[in-house]
Amino acid sequence: MNLQTEIKEEKIPWIPIVILTIIFSFFGPLYTGLTPNASWYGLGSIGCKLLLLVTPLFLIMGAAILGRLLHKSINLTTYTFIYAIGTCLYIAASNQGFPLGTNIPAYFYDRVSLAPEVDPWPLLMAPPADVIEPMVNGGALVPWAAWVPTFSWWGLEAVSFALFALGWGVIWRRRWIDVEKVPFPQTRISMELVNRITSTEKSLRARLGLPTLVGIILGIIFQLPLLLMYMFPWFPDIYGWRTNTCTMGAQYLTPDSPLAAIVGLAQFNKDPAVGAIFYMAPLNVLFGAWFWYLVFAILMQIAYSMGYYTGILDLSGCGRVWCGRISYRVGDPFKWDVFSSAGVTTGIFISYIALNWKYLAETFNAAIGKLSEDKLREFSKTEPTSYRNAYIMMGVSTILIVALFMAVDVSIPAALLFLLSNIVVGFVATRAYSLVGFVVPAGSTFYLGPMKMLLGGGTGGGTREWFVMMSLGTTIVVEPITSGGGSSPFASSLATYQMASANKVSSKSVFKIMLFVSILAPLIALAGDIWGMYTFGVTHLVQVSGSWSSAYSGVTPDAMRNRPAYEPWWPQMIAGAVFAMLLSFMHARFVWFPLEPIGFLLATDGHALIEGIWTMALAAWIAKTITLRVGGSKLYERSGIPVAIGFIIGLVIITIIGGALLDFRFFYPF
C-alpha cells in the first residue's frame, strides 16, 4: 500500500543556503567558544543530553522577523527548508557538536606538552608543536599550509560519518515517519511555531494562541532570572541554582541530606524545560522511566544491605553516579554502565533489527533491483533518494572511514568494530531522542569494552592503535549524536523528514539540502575554529580551554582499567542485552504490556542518572495523565501541548539574547 502520495520537488534557493551555511559555520564555533556557559546560552544546542536545538528555532524566528520587516510572506516550504538547514548547522555552534564538542584540542595540548617519544598522536591528527604553540595565547596568523594534512583528516572524518548517517536515515525514513509515526517531540516545537507564524490571523495573540503565549511568558520568567543570576553575582538566586546544582539543572544530594541513606538517590532534576519536552513523549515510555528508576533504587538498597557499595553514603550525588569503584556506573554487582548503557543498548538494537528484518530486507532488495517495477516506482516517488544510492553512500563512507583509520595506524578489524559500535549506539540514542527528546545512552565510556577486548586490553602498554581507538571512541562511539560524534545527521535527517511529511514538502528537496550542509558545515566550522584559536587564543576561548588538557592521560591502559567497568564486565553486558530483548519481545507481542527498554535506559543510563531526569519523567507522566483524563486529547492538544511548546520558545528567546550579551561582554565588559 502506498503510504505517502508523491510530492513534487520544490525549487531550492541555493544561493542563500550557501551563504548562510558558510557564515554560520565559520563564526558559529567562535560565538559559542566565547560564551562562558554554552550549556545554556549557545546558539547550537543547549541542555546537555536534552540536546535542545536552538539553531532551527533561531533561524525560523529570524526569518519570520526578517519577512515582517521586508513585508514578504514566507511559506511552509521555505520554513521546512530552514528547519532542515538548522538541524544540520547546529553542530557548528554547539559545545556538543563539531568541532567544539570533540576532544580535538586535547590532541593539540599533548603535542606541545608531551615528550615526542611519549606522544602517540600521528601528524594527521595534530600538526607539529611549533605550528600549535602560537594558538595558545592567540594574536597570530593561521599557517594554513601547515594545517592541510590535519585539517583534511579531521574534515574527511566528520564528512564520512555524516554521509553514512544520512544514508542510514534514508533507509529508516519510511519505517519511522510513514509507518510508526515516531513523535519527535523537539521537532514538534518547530512545527507548531511555523504553523502559528504562517497563520492568516491578524494579531500576534490570535496567531500564537493564548496557551502558547502563556507558555512563552512562563519560559521567559523561568530563564531570565537564571541569565541575570549568571551575569551578575549580586542578582538573587531565586531558584536555588547556586546551591548543590549541576549546570543541567540537577540538584545533587549531599552526605548530610536526610535522604542520603537511600543508596539509589543521587540527583533530582528541577529544570522544567526537561519536563516540557517529556510532556510530549509517549506515556508508556515516561511510565517506564520512573518505574524502572524505582526498581533501580530498590535493587541498590538491597545490594548495599548485602555488603556492596560500601562507603557510597559518604559521597555526594555526582560521586554516587560517577566516582570510584563503588559508583553506580562501575561498581559491583550491577555495573550499570555495562548492564544498561552497553548491554541494554545492544539488546535494543538487536531486537529492533530482528523485529524489522523484513523491512530492512525490502530496502536492500529495492537497492539491488529485486522488487517489482511498481514497488520501485512507488519508492522513487516518495523516498529522499533511491535505496541503492543510500546503500552506496553507506558503502563508500565505510571505505573512506576505514581508509582514514588505516592512515593513522588502525587495523581494518578495529576500524570496522569502531564503525559498528558507532552504528549501534547512534541508532539507539536517536531512537530515544525521537521518542522523548532526550539522548540515551550518553556520556562516560560504556561501549569501549569490545574494542578493549579486540586490542588485547592494552597489555604490555598501549600502541598507537590503542590510543587512537580509545580516544576517538570517547566521542564517536559513546557520543555519536552529541559531543561531536559525527552521527547527528541520522537524528537530524529523520526529524526533518517528519516536518517535511507534515508540511507536504518533498523529502528529496530536504535531503539535497541536508546533504549539502552536512558536507560543507563541518569543513567550514573546523576552519573557523582554527582561525578563532589563532586569533583569540585557546586560553581565552572558554569552550575550547575546557578541552585544553591531555587526551593521552585519560586513555592509557591503566586509566582505562575501569572502562566500561573493572573486569569481568562481559556477564553484565550479556545480561543487559538479554533483558532488553526480552522486554522488546514482550512489548511487541502483548499490547497490554506497557514496559519497553527505552524507559529502562532513561532510568539507569549513566548520564540520565547524573541529570536526575527521573523526577521530570514522573512529573511529565503525572501532568500528561491528568490532562488526558480531565479533558482528553482535545485539552492535551489545544492547551497542554501549546503551553509546553511556548515554554520552550520563551526559554530559547532568553538563550539567544543571553548568548549575544555574554559574547558582547567578552569584548566590552560590563
Distance from C-alpha of 325 to C-alpha of 335, rounded to nearest angstrom: 10
Q: How confident is the model at residue 227 (pLDDT cuts 50, 70, 90)?
A: very high
- Is residue 430 helix, strand or coil? helix
pLDDT at 108: 96
Q: How confident is the model at residue 3 (pLDDT cuts 50, 70, 90)?
A: very low
Mean predicted lDDT score pLDDT of the chain: 95
pLDDT at 10: 87
6 in a structural domain:
no
Question: Which tens digit of pLDDT belongs to each residue from 164-175?
Answer: 999 999 999 999
One DSSP character per residue, 199-232 reads ---SSHHHHH-HHHHHHHHHHHHHHHHHHHHHH-
Distance from C-alpha of 40 to C-alpha of 48, rounded to nearest angstrom: 8
Write out the H or E segment, with its range, that includes residue 267. Answer: strand 267-269
Give me the mean pLDDT over the 128-144 stretch.
97
What b/e sequence results for 586-615 when a residue is b if at least 16 CB atoms lie within 10 Å of its CB, and e otherwise?
ebeeeeeebbbbbbbbbbbbbbbbbbbbbb
Distance from C-alpha of 234 to C-alpha of 224, rounded to nearest angstrom: 15
Q: Which of 5-14, 290-299, 336-345, 591-600 has the lowest mean pLDDT?
A: 5-14
Answer whether residue 192 shows pLDDT above 60: yes
pLDDT at 542: 84
160 in a structural domain:
yes
Task: Report DSSP state, residue 71.
Answer: T
CB within 8 Å of 27: residues ≥ 6 apart: 528
Question: Which tens digit of pLDDT belongs to each residue from 643-669?
Answer: 999 999 999 999 999 999 999 999 999
pLDDT at 280: 98
> For residues 50, 51, 56 and 57, what is the CA-based torsion angle, rounded to 10 degrees?
30
Distance from C-alpha of 380 to C-alpha of 385, rounded to nearest angstrom: 7
pLDDT at 26: 98
Separate counts of helices (H) and strands (E) for the chain? 30, 4
Q: Are 225 and 239 in contact (CB under 8 A)?
A: yes
Distance from C-alpha of 363 to C-alpha of 376, rounded to nearest angstrom: 10
pLDDT at 2: 47
Residue 379 — φ and ψ, nearest 5°? -65, -35
Helix axes 507-536, 76-89, angle to 10 degrees: 40
Question: Which tens digit of pLDDT belongs to each residue from 425-478?
Answer: 999 999 999 999 999 999 778 999 999 999 998 877 789 999 999 999 999 999
* 10 φ/ψ sector (left φ>0, alpha ψ -120 to 50, else beta): beta
Distance from C-alpha of 416 to C-alpha of 408, rounded to nearest angstrom: 14
Cell numbers standing for residue 231: 551575569
Cell numbers standing for residue 538: 585557546
pLDDT at 445: 87
Structural domain of 199: 14-667
2 in a structural domain:
no
- Is residue 383 helix, strand or coil? coil
Q: Are 437 and 277 in contact (CB under 8 A)?
A: yes
pLDDT at 5: 61
195 in a structural domain:
yes
Number of domains in the chain: 1
pLDDT at 67: 95
**Nearest to 57, CA basis, from 70, 69, 45, 72:** 45
CB within 8 Å of 41: residues ≥ 6 apart: 35, 227, 655, 658, 659, 662
- Is residue 311 helix, strand or coil? coil
pLDDT over 90, % of the chain: 90
Answer whether residue 39 shows pLDDT above 80: no
pLDDT at 298: 98
Question: Which tens digit of pLDDT belongs to each residue from 362-407?
Answer: 999 999 999 999 999 999 999 999 999 999 999 999 999 999 999 9
Give me the mean pLDDT over the 294-316 stretch.
97
Q: Are 654 and 224 in contact (CB under 8 A)?
A: yes
Q: Are 444 and 341 in contact (CB under 8 A)?
A: yes
Give me the mean pLDDT over the 319-328 stretch.
93
196 in a structural domain:
yes
1 in a structural domain:
no
23 in a structural domain:
yes
Answer whether residue 190 shows pLDDT above 90: yes
Q: How confident is the model at residue 1 (pLDDT cuts 50, 70, 90)?
A: very low
pLDDT at 200: 87
Question: Which tens digit of pLDDT belongs to each residue from 63-74?
Answer: 999 999 999 999
Size of the chain in residues: 670
**483 or 128: which leads in pLDDT:** 128
8 in a structural domain:
no
Task: Report DSSP state, residue 47.
Answer: S
Q: How confident is the model at residue 484 (pLDDT cuts 50, 70, 90)?
A: confident
